[in-house]
Every structure is written in structure tokens, then in C-alpha cells.
Amino acid sequence: LTADRSTTELLRNNGRLDLLEFNSRSQPMTNMSPKLPS
């Protein structure tokens, strides 16, 4: 279960990173938005 759990966490983290990168590419203006903490 430990290996499966770690793998799942890695997949989740990678998915989140991919989404963040995708959002950055799709909406580069969001990075410059004063509403988001940098």
C-alpha cells in the first residue's frame, strides 16, 4: 500500500503541475494578475 500510495501522490502532484503549466501557457495574463499571490 505504501508504494501504491506514493505512486498515487506522485501522479496527483504531476497532474497538478501539468494543470498549472497548462494554465500558464493558456492564460499568461493570470501570472501577472495582482489577485494571485506570487
For cell 506522485, name the residue.
Answer: 10
Task: Decide if pLDDT at 7 tops 70.
Answer: yes
Per-residue pLDDT tens digits for 19-38: 667 666 666 555 555 565 55
Cα–Cα distance for residue pair 33/27, rounded to 1 Å: 10
| Bigger pLDDT: 23 vs 6 | 6
Residue 16 inside a domain? The answer is yes
Size of the chain in residues = 38
What is the rounded distance in angstroms from the CA atom of residue 31 to the CA atom of residue 25? 10
Asked whether residue 36 is assigned to any structural domain, the reply reads no
Q: What is the tally of structural domains in the chain?
A: 1
Residue at 20 is within a domain: yes
| Contact present, 24 and 30 (Cβ < 8 Å) | yes
Instruction: Tell me whether residue 37 is in a domain.
Output: no
Range of the domain at 11: 2-28
Domain presence at residue 23: yes
